Structure 1
Amino acid sequence: MTAPGYGRDAPLSADELAAAVAAVRPDWRLVDAGPMPDGSDIVYGVAVREGDGATREAVLKCFRPGKSPTHTPERFLVEVDLLGIVGRETDLPVPSLYGVRESHESAPTPAFLMEYLAGESPPPVTDPAPDGSGEERAADRLLRESGRHLARVHGLRTFASFGELVADPDRRTTGEGKVPAAEPVVRDGHDTWSGRLGALIAFSLDGLGDTRFSDLESGLREYAEERLATLDLAAEAALLHGDYRPGNLLADPETGAVTAVLDWGAAQAGDPRYELAWAVREFSGRAPLGSPVGERVRDALFDAYEDERGRSFDRGSGEFEERQRFYRAVTWITELRWFDYWWGGADESVREERAARLRENAAELR
């Protein structure tokens, strides 16, 4: 069960891990644990002994305080609610929940235990066209399944406002091991999608002052304000996964079949077309706009998405293209704000190459 180092550290001691498992499931005892690679909360793969003496592999996820200004226990616990909803109402492969504990006098909480699912994080697509090889067939299947998954997620819930989703504190329980069937709510919602996007952009740009990208702030702010004022951004406040990308999936490396959709803690109520723009960016390995790789990924994702939902976007219109280009620009602006956090652990050459590419992206918007 011992795994490579989790993120930049493995913050829980053996005693803390044992206490967290016992707080969530008093009938389980920790046998072994290893920090899981990647992620921003505290995540361990654990082996536990159940009350009848049987052993089980599971995943323990604990709240990491101070991760970001908006990361609160309610934000962390929305993943519990969404795993329950998606597991009950769809056939998407998500982990079953074994228990949750919102608070405890001594153990690290909030925390929850969930099913361990097999698979590997798939790589992004790098070739502009499939060559018929097994690897390329797997990539196409991954893209098709992802498009269908996103369509199902976006059809699950709509909300009265736009913004981050959190667990409703009025509907939660603190019972030992109980997993409440609760609905997420929007925190500090905006009446319009343009208002939500404007707030996201302002937060990101306001944070550039002390970074290497401070010189880009005024130009990007002017660009964003013009687009917010002129583009048609009317949208439905649909449930978005919030971070649907290869790094948050597990798949069969031979076939491309998705075996797990993970990390629902970034969920929000927003425009599905924004999440699709994010997915195209991530599944294409952040390939440039209009690149052959990017077009392959976009066509595959959108085709599967539209087939699943039974309705089509007006992909050929200039209005659609301008909106998707703006959504892609918002992802760049967000990345500028969080650059040191997202890329702080990467090799310097990789970090500098990405910083240079982001500058090129910003220049393309002028």
Structure 2
Amino acid sequence: MTDPKYGPRDPLPDDQVAAAVAALRAGWTVLDAEPMPAGSDIVYGVTVRDARDRRREAVLKCFRSDGPVDGRSPERFLVEVDLLELVGRETDIPVPEVYGTYRSRDGLPGPAFLMGRLPGEPPLGVAVGGREAAAERLLRESGRLLARVHDLRSFDAFGDLVSRDGGPAVRDGRATWPDRLRDIVDDSLDGLAGTRFAGLEEPLREYADDRFAELDLAADAALLHGDYRPGNLLADPDTGDLTAVLDWGAAQAGDPRYELAWAVREFSGRAPVGSADRERVREAFVDAYEEGRADGFERDAASERRQSFYLAATWLVECRWFDAWWGGADESAREARAERLRENVRELR
């Protein structure tokens, strides 16, 4: 749910890109192709000529079996297709049209799918350069659309979503949300060994154990986008109007309030707790979210305590995957972020 510096290790040969597009959409010819490196799969922006001799902008996405994300599988990859079609059919959330999908083709990377390329630019979560009105619209629209996602489907278990014959389904699900969250927390804690955050494991484990014992974490299993952040949205740069919600391949069934904690963190640019930027983003985003939800949340002391724990869980996950997520930054930027995370842990109550 943050900005991984992944991407294809080597670009595909031009003939493979052209053959994959042709296999996905008969009669379409690739005019130009450019790798899009910010993702855990092989992704290309392609300009094509369709069967009616019209130019189109599209995105080719192929599964990478040696990708950097744990738990990736063809079924996990293809759930994005299920969700793009479901969301496009049943909501007003702007998503790309899926042009074609295949599970396997001899000599080609697969599974793969081809989708439309929507206009817009990745938006900023905080207002800069006097564009506060556009930023406010963006935040409120982002919150409203996330509410639509969370109301779209419910599940009978908690966990990662995969593609099944009947659509998105939970893989290796847990019966309760606390069990699922415990898995996320324990996996992250176990992964700190040998990292620059190894010294945080003991205090974080103690903190997490206390919160699991103290808090009521019961929740219904709702559809979560899984990576809802400005980097996975497109917006009109002048108005702040959203033009696309992208990258549904990390979808989960979980507590919507957990994703809300991630969203506020990302849309505020990971601003410190209590800062003016974070509080402004939090109010605009969460207010619009609550207005859009069929069932709202209580904003009481217990709710705030739970959200604080969820925010701490986001820091823990980031520590676990720090080298992957920050691998593209220079060491000074990495260490500045690492120190901010250490300070966050020291301030936990």
Structure-2-length-normalised TM-score: 0.95
Report the alpha carbon displacement of residue 113 of structure 1 after superposing the two structures with TM. 0.4
Render the CA deviation track for 1:253-278: whole Å, top value 9, x for unaligned.
11100000000011000111111110
Report the alpha carbon displacement of residue 95 of structure 1 after superposing the two structures with TM. 0.3
What are structure 2's unaligned runs of at least 5 residues?
none
Secondary structure at the counterpart of residue 154 of structure 2: coil
- Which residue is equivalent to 1:77? 78
Report the alpha carbon displacement of residue 8 of structure 1 after superposing the two structures with TM. 6.8
Render the CA deviation track for 1:116-150: whole Å, top value 9, x for unaligned.
101000122167xxx9x4x1001100110011101
- Which residue is equivalent to 1:98? 99
Render the CA deviation track for 1:63-115: whole Å, top value 9, x for unaligned.
12222220111111100000000000001110011001111121111110001
Question: Amino acid of the residue matched to residue 326 of structure 1?
Answer: F
- Which residue is equivalent to 2:215? 231
Render the CA deviation track for 1:281-304: whole Å, top value 9, x for unaligned.
000010111222111111111111
Distance between the aligned counterparts of 2:197 and 2:41, measured in 1? Answer: 27
Secondary structure at the counterpart of residue 75 of structure 1: helix
How many residue pairs get aligned? The number is: 344
Greater shift in the superposed pair: 45-54 or 117-126: 45-54
Secondary structure at the counterpart of residue 95 of structure 2: coil
Distance between the aligned counterparts of 2:108 and 2:159, measured in 1? Answer: 31
Distance between the aligned counterparts of 1:25 and 1:288, measured in 2? Answer: 47
Distance between the aligned counterparts of 2:52 and 2:240, measured in 1? Answer: 37
Tell me whether 1:158 sits opposite 2:154 in the alignment: yes
Distance between the aligned counterparts of 1:151 and 1:10, measured in 2? Answer: 38
Secondary structure at the counterpart of residue 314 of structure 1: coil
- Which residue is equivalent to 1:174? none
Report the alpha carbon displacement of residue 50 of structure 1 after superposing the two structures with TM. 2.1
Calculate percent identity across the aligned residue pairs: 64
Report the alpha carbon displacement of residue 6 of structure 1 after superposing the two structures with TM. 8.1
Distance between the aligned counterparts of 2:52 and 2:337, measured in 1? Answer: 51
Asked if the contact 1:23/1:107 (under 8 Å) is kept, the reply is: no
- Which residue is equivalent to 1:46? 46
Distance between the aligned counterparts of 2:290 and 2:45, measured in 1? Answer: 36
Report the alpha carbon displacement of residue 310 of structure 1 after superposing the two structures with TM. 4.8
Q: CA RMSD in A?
A: 1.7
Question: Amino acid of the residue matched to residue 57 of structure 1?
Answer: E
Asked if the contact 1:98/1:115 (under 8 Å) is kept, the reply is: yes
**Ranges of 4+ aligned residues in structure 1 off by more than 6 Å:** none
What are structure 1's unaligned runs of at least 5 residues?
172-181
Asked if the contact 1:126/1:284 (under 8 Å) is kept, the reply is: no
- Which residue is equivalent to 1:36? 36
- Which residue is equivalent to 2:13? 13
Report the alpha carbon displacement of residue 225 of structure 1 after superposing the two structures with TM. 1.5
Report the alpha carbon displacement of residue 31 of structure 1 after superposing the two structures with TM. 1.7
Tell me whether 1:241 sits opposite 2:225 in the alignment: yes
- Aligned ranges 1:300-339 → 2 under 5 Å: 300-315=284-299, 317-339=300-322
Distance between the aligned counterparts of 2:329 and 2:294, measured in 1? Answer: 41
Structure-1-length-normalised TM-score: 0.90
Distance between the aligned counterparts of 2:144 and 2:267, measured in 1? Answer: 14
Render the CA deviation track for 1:312-345: whole Å, top value 9, x for unaligned.
3222x21011100000011101001110000001
